[in-house]
Amino acid sequence: MLSAAPQEQWRLLDVQDQDTRLAQIAHRVATLPEHAEIERLRARLGTFASQLVVARTKSDDLARELTKAEADVEQVRQRAARDRARLEAGQGSAKDLLSMQHELGTLAQRQNVLEDAELEVMERQETAAAELAELVGEQERVQAELAELESRRDEQVGVLDAEAATVSQAREQAAAGLPDDLLALYERVRAHAGGVGAARLSRRRCEGCRLELNATELGRIRAAADDAVIRCEECGRILVRTADSGL
């Protein structure tokens, strides 16, 4: 059986206390509420990429369609202006002038149709541009909110990291000079027992598994040497005897 001076076993409880505090700090870091919100916002930002591609493509396509519609209207206007100028100047035969009058009427109808089409495209393009601007604005708002959350999270993590550094230093001091075999056993047990490798025997109860020891087990512990390293039969943790163990 492994042996270690009672004072060394008591110090092992100090090591355990610091390890418990470190585990609690790590849990606090891992469960900061900002983490879940940050992940939600990052997922939200991920959807913007495809949405913006669609919105920009739609807006650009409509902008090109509007440019073409404007060009079509302008072409008809210029042609009508040329015909009107020739008609007013009386250029051409009577037949030609009559044909130009007829063409001007046709061009006027054509211009009305094209202008209506131009207006319809313009309205759709304005709507698409507004939707794109709204999407960009929403993306910027989410990015700003994400940056604020990340900053808040980093600030809290920094505080907890500083606390963990202080506790780690206290842990090193508590473990300094303890027998290597005792620490090795403690670490093995702690790895398989939920982070608790050593527990007090307090009022005949193991503080590791919270179970009260039976008479047989208490008798075994009473008979053990003071420097014997005792293990709880129920949970396997190192059981450290103290003044209030109830033996």
What SS3 string covers 159-188?
HHHHHHHHHHHHHHHHHCCCCHHHHHHHHH
Domain ranges of the chain: 6-26+179-241, 32-155
For the chain, which ranges sit under pLDDT 70? 88, 90-94, 96-97, 100
What's the confidence (pLDDT) of residue 94? 67
What's the confidence (pLDDT) of residue 91? 66
Cα end-to-end span (Å), the chain: 20
**Secondary-structure breakdown of the chain: helix, strand, coil percentages, each rounded to the nearest 5:** 75, 5, 20
| Tokens standing for residue 189 | 């047990």
* DSSP state at residue 231: E
- 79 residue type, one letter: R
Q: Give the separation between CA 234 and CA 189, rounded to whole angstroms.
A: 13
- Among residues 209, 218, 210, which one has the least CA distance to residue 245? 218
What's the confidence (pLDDT) of residue 151? 97
What's the confidence (pLDDT) of residue 102? 76
What's the confidence (pLDDT) of residue 34? 95
CATH class of 32-155: mainly alpha
What's the confidence (pLDDT) of residue 187? 96
What's the confidence (pLDDT) of residue 79? 83
What's the confidence (pLDDT) of residue 84? 80
What's the confidence (pLDDT) of residue 113? 85
Q: Determine the distance from the C-alpha atom of residue 91 to the mean position of all C-alpha atoms in its chain, rounded to a whole number.
A: 76
What's the confidence (pLDDT) of residue 80? 80
What's the confidence (pLDDT) of residue 85? 76
What's the confidence (pLDDT) of residue 92? 62
What is the arrangement of strands in the sheet containing 205-206, beginning at the earlier edge strand?
Answer: 205-206, 198-202, 238-241, 230-231
